[in-house]
Amino acid sequence: MTTDGADPRPDALADPPRHLTAGLAWSAQAEIAESPRWDEQRGELLWVDTMRGIVSAWDPHTGGSRSVALGQPVGSVVLTRSGIILAAVRDGFGRVDRTHGLRLIRAVEQDQPDMRMNDGACDPQGRFWAGTMELGAAPGRGSLYRLRHDLVIDRMLDGVSCSNGIGWSPDGRRMYYIDTPLRRIDVFRFDGVAGTLSERTTWVSIEPSAGAPDGLTVDDEGGVWVALWGGGAVRRYAPDGRLDMVVETGTPIVTSCTFGGDALDVLFITTGSVGDGAGDGVGGSILQVVPGVRGRPANRFAGI
């Protein structure tokens, strides 16, 4: 299953993964809910409805929510250290006004109207990483970009098909990355000072019957949680690459996950109501489970 730090025991002797079931947190009625992000300062969950171009915030204590339309597809959101929301949208990187919408900061691939930005996250030093994909996920058309503190953009990877989940190990020395059609989680050696990648290897491969890997998050023990589009589940892989836990969602289109709540002990899971997830009453909702491990506060952008 893995090529980096794999459990040496035969499968017959390996501990079976623990199975959990997620419950409903919020009936978001999204088309494709994505990029969940816990804002510990406000005590609310941010998320996007990708192709509808909507950023939403939900307060689990009051049940209240609010949304803002950006006028174009949005792949992901991050928070800045000053509390501002930034987004990776179709046209590039932008700033989100919680009332009035989007102000584009830096354009990305605007000369290619069939491309859009997708998933993204901030590294521990506060740079915003996000990738692109062709609207039909044509192979090799996308790239992975890095928005620096001074708002300069660097292209960090080429030949990407569907740039998706990004996360860092607790010590900041490894970056996990998903290009969905490859059906695997890759790991890079990460230089936090320079913000550079090296030594890419396959960390975990996902069997086709399990669905396609989408968004991911890393918990405070170094476990990697990956959402499985078409697989109806979120999996946790232990730091050594062993399949450790499986969260069943009751709907096939599972897009991403993050830890939140006052103690960062709730795993929030985003889902979609498209394709096989349409009409099942669960797809498009925000789900939750308390898995017995905690997350870490989301890295925030340091430049604004």
The catalytic site residues sit at 214
- 127 to each of 73, 230, 299, how far by Cα in Å? 22, 31, 9
Q: Which amino acid is at 64?
A: G
Comparing C-alpha atoms, which of 251, 67, 222 is closest to residue 234? 251
For 293, list phi and psi in degrees, rounded to 5.
-130, 165
DSSP characters over 80-113: BTTS-EEEEETTEEEEEETTTEEEEEEE-STT-T
| Cβ neighbours of residue 123 closer than 8 Å, sequence gap 6 or more | 129, 168, 172, 175, 190, 192, 195, 299
Tell me the C-alpha distance between 72 and 265, whole Å. 33
CB 51 within 8 A of CB 73: yes
276 DSSP assignment? G
Sheet holding 163-168, edge to edge: 163-168, 174-179, 184-191, 196-205
Sheet holding 54-58, edge to edge: 33-39, 44-49, 54-58, 65-69
CB 271 within 8 A of CB 255: yes
Comparing C-alpha atoms, which of 269, 279, 207 is closest to residue 21? 269
